[in-house]
Chain A
């Protein structure tokens, strides 16, 4: 309510400036953003929208629709209903599916001049991995993250591990996790060594990291083929399967993403795999010293990128599209990207952002903020195919079956591959 009043006041002020009024053909944009209403992120986004309005006179209305899943559903629903946003932050990996629905407009079509092209090339390549198709650019990175490990330095010291040395390989991680898993007299686990998410919406991200750690890429760039039955992919699943059943360092069954930060903060889990976006949360709320490390791979840290990109929708008018593009360029300017990174823990999307004074100072004050981007060179794009959600679901189903002890890794991967092939068949012809 307070925001609206401020925005209203700001709009009135800008209307009073005739020059700006004359130059504008678009006054308002609707922008979908994937967080629950409220919370610190909303304040930041609202702030950026207000800043943009002061600068350009265009009012951007953010709509907060819940998590990525819900935001996707809401945006699609609104667009199919004939209205809807002109731009939205959605999962970078959804690109093919969104294209299938024929609701996206490429940046090339909106219009990129020489400066625009330089802007696109200024992003980290890893973050542009999910943005290209048919030789065009369809989305722009905004809040990108990688999967990293957070670990409880206090418990590391407690069990005799060096808190400054985080495991680099699968073998080292398993050894450390075994030491860290604490059982009480009756055999109930009081603290798990390692926790990673296996619920719908996150299992595929976890698996993407594991697969890359075994040096396996799960799909082709066109998003029409998947490689779940590649021996390295099966190896990754077997490793995941061994964690609860052989090494007993993680609970069997589903581990839900939203529980993991709470578990970590409560001391229930010594090492967790989560997003860099949680860094600020832990920094503010952790009552013990914690560290951030790269996810151990078979022979060295490797990880997966994730997070959200800015997408532009076809249903917007010419003027609206240009205004939206302008807004996104505003958001990804190095100073702003740096500000976003500092406030949230997402990785600033361009090397230029990391060169700004603010971010340099921040990193000097708080070195853990610099750790995640060091792993960008060994990061791979998130699983992204046509009918993305369907493929995610079948992969998740079988991962869950495997982790519940109902399917063996090879079985699970074969079943997933069969189903995925069936789903993608219509796209292979096209």
Chain B
């Protein structure tokens, strides 16, 4: 990395580079303190609703409406919530769903991205533009029509049906194409010289180099589909296909009134897996975004 500015006075420059402190480091302590306080205040406000829900979930029902710092802790809300609805099944459904989506998206988008990135064929750019249309028009917007398509296919109320509209992912194709284009041509040529077929080249050269992109995209996809609600709501009817989000929404609507302790407990249960995963892997999360060049 070369410096952008060349100083005409080497000795003096060395001295000044050492002694120069960027002006913002010289800023007054009060300003900086103010900024830190501001950032922290925002952070607290940001996390407050969640903290309160956690608090409510672990305290008996009466305290949901009367905040008392020394109220007794209890696990009964979690137990009740777990027993009240088949959350284990919902968890299984959701896991199956995101796995299907992730694997299928990788399998389908990789070859397509490779073709757009490295192959020449007539109409390539037009087709790519057509693909990109999906970036703005997500399948949910077309839910009435998509519902009809799936009912004609006889796939209503299956986990596959939840996944199907998203498998041909424009976003994934776009990301992978960008990444594949940065792969040095020399590596590709070397593989070709060794006699690798097209697919082998794709698999041996391009895919490994795009690992950060796969990770970043995988994280986005998993969190998107784990949290997806409207489309699964419409397309599923039974316990054996319903994901966590839909299960939670049904659970929270009763004719006889809402018990906030149990609802917050259930809410936390459905959010916990993703939350745990993020808390454990947040550094990797950010880093993969950096390396994937999504910026």
Interface residues of A (CB under 8 A from B): 1, 34-39, 63-68, 70, 74, 77-78, 80-83, 258-262, 266, 275, 277-278, 281
Contact = CB atoms under 8 A, between A and B. Distances in A.
Nearest to A84: B237
A82 B86 contact: no
Given A77-B234, A78-B156, A83-B156, A70 B257 contact: no
B256 A37 contact: no
A261 B256 contact: yes
Contact of A36 (B83, B154, B238, B251): B251
A38 B156 contact: no
17 contacts: A35-B254, A36-B253, A36-B254, A37-B239, A37-B247, A39-B254, A63-B238, A64-B239, A77-B234, A78-B156, A78-B157, A81-B156, A82-B154, A82-B156, A258-B258, A259-B257, A262-B260
Contacts of B238: 63
A278 B258 CA distance: 12
Given A37-B250, A38-B251, A80-B151, A281 B256 contact: yes
B31 interface: no
A266 B257 contact: no
B78 to A, nearest CB: 14
B73 to A, nearest CB: 21
B222 interface: no
A258 B257 CA distance: 4
Interface residues of B, number: 27
Contacts of B83: 38
Contact of A70 (B84, B85, B157, B253): B253
Contacts of A66: 249-250, 253
A260 B258 CA distance: 9
Given A259-B258, A281-B256, A77 B156 contact: yes
Q: Which residue, of B86, B147, B258, has the highest number of chain A Cβ atoms within 10 A? A: B258
For the residues of B in contact with A, the DSSP-based class is: loop
Given A39-B84, A74-B237, A262 B258 contact: yes
Contacts of A82: 151, 154, 156
Contacts of A34: 255
Given A38-B84, A77-B156, 17 more contacts: A36-B250, A36-B254, A37-B84, A37-B86, A37-B251, A63-B237, A64-B239, A67-B254, A68-B255, A77-B234, A82-B154, A258-B254, A258-B258, A261-B256, A275-B255, A277-B255, A277-B256
A67 B253 contact: yes
A430 B154 CA distance: 34
B252 A36 contact: yes
Interface string B253-281: 11111111000000000000000000000
Contacts of A38: 83-85, 251
Nearest to A202: B255
B2 interface: no
B84 A260 contact: no
Contacts of B255: 34-35, 67-68, 275, 277
A34 B255 CA distance: 9
Contacts of A65: 237, 250
A36 B85 CA distance: 8
Contacts of A260: 257
Nearest to A80: B151
Given A37-B85, A39-B84, A77 B253 contact: no
Nearest to A38: B84
